[in-house]
Amino acid sequence: MPSTNPRNYDATPSRKVAFLGLGVMGYPMAGHLALAGHEVTVYNRTATKSIAWCAECASAKAPKHAATPREAAAGADLVFCCVGNDDDLRSVTLGADGAFAGMKPGAIFVDHTTASAEVARELYAAAQALGLQFVDAPVSGGQAGAQNGLLTVMCGGDAAAFEAAQPVAMAFSRAFTLLGDSGSGQLAKMVNQICIAGLVQGLSEAVAFGQNAGLDMKQVLEVIGKGAAQSWQMDNRGKTMVDGKFDFGFAVDWMRKDLGLVLDEARRNGSRVPVTALVDQFYADVQKMGGNRWDTSSLIKRLS
């Protein structure tokens, strides 16, 4: 569920919405929609999680759970989704039990999965053929951002669909921005992950270097964090890296999935991403160490 921190929901009129996928991100995101006064129906592959979500949201406006994506999407103005990968996304959208089969004409599907730009364009075309609208809208901010309703959302699609979805999605977002045509949101998320990969590896090397040199690295990070080296990663993961704690959210397995998308797209568009490719292999080393579920700052474990 969302954080208990107070959240100022705006005066967006109540809408009938569905949310597909109640993982570590989707569960609190759907909760923010319910707390904002929307009528939310949820679907999750493991039904017990949907049932638990409804129990936690019992005081909200008629929370419901459905047995299939199609049932969840029936009659909804907007269908939000956050699942694992391209194949998961196809499984909840297409086919007889998919959301597209249940959505009313003109309804909007907003996909928060980090997936390929190719599948975004594929599903955009499929939605258009059915008289539906599709926005690819991957998020940044991690589990804490989802719980606190402070996600940054990168969108691709048509302006009309984006503008209709934005006021509702602001229930769990601090920024919800249209960046171009279908697929642009996914491409922007890839840019985000390229930046993070390089930053975390640089921070790992810096902390390990300082420790080997005998410095008090928490003090050093306090000092350099006020200068040009400052970054979100330094502010939020530097000291926990020093402490050897790696249970703060976005897992190595998920990062490797995302970097795989980056490398595939780079091959398609001719981009050279040598640092990203190298860091992807470093994360593979962390997986071999048993760190699949450690957070991304665990790159430093390779250097200890």
Enumerate the active-site residues: 189
CB 103 within 8 A of CB 53: no
- Backbone φ and ψ for 289, nearest 5 degrees, come out as -80, 0
Q: Is-contact 127 98, C-beta < 8 A?
A: no
The Cα-based distances of 160 to 100, 132, 163, 239 in angstroms read 19, 12, 5, 44
Question: Of 76, 71, 68, 70, nearest to 18 (Cα)?
Answer: 76
HSE on the CB side for 220, CA within 13 Å?
A: 15
| Residue 17, phi then psi, degrees to nearest 5 | -130, 160
Q: CA torsion sign, 220 to 221 to 226 to 228? A: positive
Question: Which residue type occupies 282?
Answer: F
Q: Beta strand pairing status for 139-140 and 151-155?
A: antiparallel
Residue with tokens 């929609």: 33
Write the DSSP symbol of residue 251. Answer: B
Is the alpha carbon torsion for 253, 257, 258, 259 positive or negative?
positive
